[in-house]
Copies of this chain bind each other. A is one copy, B any other.
Amino acid sequence: MGVQAPRTADGRRADAVRSRSALLDAAATVFVRSGVDAPVRDIAAQAGVGVGTIYRHFPTRADLVVAVYRHQVEACAEAGPGLLASASSPYTALMEWIDLFVDFLVTKHGLAAALRSDDAGFAALHAHFVERLVPVCAGLLDAADRSGEVRPGIDAYQLMRGVGNLCIGADSDARYDARPMVGLLLAGLRCQD
């Protein structure tokens, strides 16, 4: 009975699975070479597919970026509780976690810039980062707050946004290094005056 139900194990056709995988590999390669703003056609060419195939699998560019970096975002998010347990203090844990976040951002051409972009196409990227990482940051920040190590009243979203902003352009301007500025921001967070 019923119509065709062409399905592989996960419900998609085999060629679709191949295309998606090829696209992810291609995107990762092109992002390294040209940044996350690389032309859609470049990614399609690298993957050996048409541009239509990209839009079918990843309706917005953010979806593609999210998929490419999902594992690393996940790893960063999951590292939070561990740092809180192992570090000498909640504030230290927060510092170390933000170090991880900064490491992630500055090694991806233009990712930090895309993150803050008001471009609607990147809204989903922004949303994913916020949903996954802000709660982790909030946990660390709360712990540091309770231990009295940081000034109160700082919002986790704003802090992450500030750190992310400081990382913008760190990969394309030799005169600018984001880490000292992030260090200043965190030092200011600790100061009670």
Residues of A that sit less than 8 Å from B by CB: 110, 113, 116, 118, 154, 157-159, 161-162, 165-166, 168-169, 172-173, 175-178, 180-181, 183-191, 193
A95 to chain B, nearest CB (A): 12
Cβ–Cβ < 8 Å partners of A184 in chain B: 154, 162, 185, 188-189
Give 18 pairs: A residue, B residue, CB < 8 Å, sorted on A: A110-B118, A116-B168, A158-B176, A158-B180, A158-B181, A159-B181, A161-B173, A161-B181, A162-B184, A165-B168, A184-B188, A187-B187, A187-B191, A187-B193, A188-B188, A188-B189, A188-B191, A191-B191
A121 to chain B, nearest CB (A): 15
A10 to chain B, nearest CB (A): 36
- Give CA–CA (A15, B178) in the complex, Å: 47
Cβ–Cβ < 8 Å partners of A162 in chain B: 166, 178, 181, 184
B169 in contact with A157 (CB, 8 Å): no
Cβ–Cβ < 8 Å partners of A176 in chain B: 157-158, 161
- Give CA–CA (A55, B40) in the complex, Å: 29
B166 in contact with A166 (CB, 8 Å): yes
Of all A-B residue pairs in the complex, the 7 with the closest CB atoms, nearest first, are A188-B188, A187-B188, A184-B188, A162-B181, A118-B172, A116-B169, A165-B165
A21 to chain B, nearest CB (A): 31
Q: Which residue of B lies closest to A193 (CB)?
A: B187
Cβ–Cβ < 8 Å partners of A158 in chain B: 175-177, 180-181
- Give CA–CA (A116, B161) in the complex, Å: 16
A15 to chain B, nearest CB (A): 38
Query: Which of B157, B169, B191 sits near A165, CB closer than 8 Å?
Result: B169
Cβ–Cβ < 8 Å partners of A178 in chain B: 162
- Give CA–CA (A190, B159) in the complex, Å: 19
Cβ–Cβ < 8 Å partners of A118 in chain B: 110, 169, 172-173
